[in-house]
Amino acid sequence: MIALEPTVLSLLGAFPFDRVYVESIIYVSLYVSLTAVVLSTLASIPIALGVGFTDFPGKGFVIAVINTGMGFPSVVVGLLVLFLVSNQGPLGPLDLVFTKEAMIISQFVLAFPVITGVTLAAVTSVEDGVRDAAYAMGGTRVDVALVTVKEARYGIATGILAGLGRAISEVGSVLIVGGNIASADGTAITRTLTTAIQLEARQGRFDTALILGAILVTIVLSINAIVLRLGGGRV
């Protein structure tokens, strides 16, 4: 491993890109997407449990909205978030335009319906008998919810990783609300792997674009491998 390290570094040095530039792009991509997915997960699981196990007027409509959101065009989300954070928008005073925080909001909106929809399907597929057993043994509502989440954990993990895949491979909304900005010293500020690929390709630097594309594909493939591994044919 120690002997390999100089070899790997020398190989990286041979590639036609600025290593600091690429590392900062990877950092921005992962920071924005992981933060958005963590926040989406925290919101999605209670909402999926609430929708799944509560009867209320308009429940079918809520489920339809969640399912529609799973395929919502990302550029439209970007546009709506831009209105939200622009000077005239309700979040205007926070001065979020072209910041990572605005990108996190847009990716939150994109990941939320994916995670909620898959989690909803997972928790509602937990057999009634299992929840009945937890209740019959003296479980509170929280105990029953925790048992349900534990039983549905593979499906929920699949939803989270699917949300991460949707967020990290998305280009339209982060381009609109983030602005694809890099600083003068060559480090990314709001530039992600997807927006950088779009920029490098448009400027004719296909070698750099391909390298960035390979990194993105590797990350997305890794996410899918984890999904398959966790699913194990059960989800």
Interacting residues with another protein (CB under 8 A): 127, 129-130, 132-140, 143, 147, 150-151
Cβ proximity to another protein: between 82 and 134 the closer is 134
Give the nearest distance from C-beta 233 to another protein in angstroms: 14
Cβ proximity to another protein: between 60 and 138 the closer is 138
Tokens of 45: 């699981």
Cβ proximity to another protein: between 148 and 198 the closer is 148
Cβ proximity to another protein: between 147 and 209 the closer is 147
Give the nearest distance from C-beta 153 to another protein in angstroms: 8
Give the nearest distance from C-beta 121 to another protein in angstroms: 17
Give the nearest distance from C-beta 119 to another protein in angstroms: 17
- HSE-CB of 37 using CA atoms within 13 angstroms: 23
Cβ proximity to another protein: between 111 and 156 the closer is 156
Give the nearest distance from C-beta 117 to another protein in angstroms: 22
